[in-house]
Amino acid sequence: MAKEGHIKVDGKKVQRIDIATHRQLMWWKFRKNYMAMIAAGILGIFLIISIFAEFIAPYSSGLRNTRYLAGPPMSVHLFDAKGKFHLRPFIYGWVNKRDPVTLALIPVVDTSKQIPLSIFHRGESYKLWGLFKSNLHLFGVNEGMVNIFGTDQIGRDIFSRIMYATRISLSVGAIGVFFVFIIGLLMGGIAGYFGGIADELIMRLMEFLRSIPTLPLWLALAAALPRDWSALKVYVAILLILSSVGWTNLGRRVRSKLLSIREDDFVLSARLAGCSDARIIFHHMLPSFMSYIIVDLTVSFPYIILAETALSFLGLGLREPIVSWGVLLYSAQNIHALAEIPWLLITGLFVVIAVLAFNFMGDGLRDAADPLAK
């Protein structure tokens, strides 16, 4: 982990690594891990999507393209059928034709008609974060609708729905991880700090929770939710269900870290220096295991996302009009949908990418948490 280079401090040349803070050392180590950096970049894009979903999605999640049902993804072109280059990307128009065998209406690409894409398109109006009124979208078309990931059975734009679902699924992960963090830190902290009977009780509770197969437990809890609850209420309830089971790992980690760090030489010497209990905990102990906890949280992120996806996929999680990745995949359940509208599975690609990215970033963070290890 040699970081070459010198800087001047008080008129003297100093090696940069010698005066680097722990955070700097972690960053230097993290950025050497290319996979983790790429993963962080992908997650950055996901974050931007979640924040600006209304702007990036050309349409709202419920808007239907009634003339383009179960339509395949429209490809964006720069060259037309004659090989002529267009500076402005365009899509072809389509016409609905009857299938001679099934007599069903199917959209057929009409290369004679070019519809140019417009960037920063003024289209459907929305309220960003429920606050700012706008009708600006990243892209759109003046004529008809553009569905770059195709449409579902009733003509809703899959690309737009995935953008909104990304926001919901990531927020489920983030808020779930936040709950896990609070419960895990509290329970692990109590167990590790007070010990004795509190420790026994909490440890037995953790073991009990871990011994229950998770999927049936979620199902039971989720099935117990009243069906007449609003989508938002269900959303919060699902989060609480997922984190009430998911905190045990972190709780264990916090407890064992507290127990081992409490006897570490540097904590003992902080005690000898006459530090108060609060200063020992917040100034000496917490910073030294915070990096490990952040790693744990990063790794537990995809578990919560996957758990929510699984629940929603089974129809017991989130429900329309809230769209999450699981809700979108729910519609791809039957063989008919899979055979006729395979583009519904694009959502799965997003789930896979997100989970992999979190795992790779967690790996990188784990290495970086101990920046001086060779």
Least separation in angstroms between CB 267 and another protein: 8
DSSP letters spanning 257-294: HHHHHHTSHHHHHHHHTT--HHHIIIIIIHHHHHHHHH
Q: Which stretch binds another protein (CB under 8 A): 11-19, 28-36, 56-64, 145-153?
A: 11-19
- How far apart are the C-alpha atoms of 310 and 297, rounded to whole Å? 20
**Stretch 190-219 residues interacting with another protein (CB under 8 A):** 196-197
Cβ(54)–Cβ(62) below 8 Å: no
- How far apart are the C-alpha atoms of 319 and 333, rounded to whole Å? 15
Q: Which long-range contacts (CB under 8 A, 24 or more apart) does 197-205 make?
A: 199/255, 202/251, 202/255, 203/255
- How far apart are the C-alpha atoms of 33 and 220, rounded to whole Å? 41
Q: Does 276 bind another protein (CB under 8 A)?
A: yes
Q: Which stretch binds another protein (CB under 8 A): 4-12, 216-224, 228-236, 349-357?
A: 4-12
Ramachandran angles phi, psi of 140, nearest 5°: 175, 180
Q: Which stretch binds another protein (CB under 8 A): 42-50, 53-61, 250-258, 270-278?
A: 270-278
Least separation in angstroms between CB 260 and another protein: 11
Q: Which stretch binds another protein (CB under 8 A): 71-79, 151-159, 281-289, 319-327?
A: 281-289
Least separation in angstroms between CB 268 and another protein: 6
- How far apart are the C-alpha atoms of 96 and 311, rounded to whole Å? 37
State the binding string over 152-171 for another protein (x if CB under 8 A, else -). Answer: --------------------
Q: Does 265 bind another protein (CB under 8 A)?
A: yes
Binding site for another protein (CB under 8 A): 9-10, 12, 14-15, 17-22, 25, 196-197, 264-266, 268-276, 279, 284, 287-288, 372
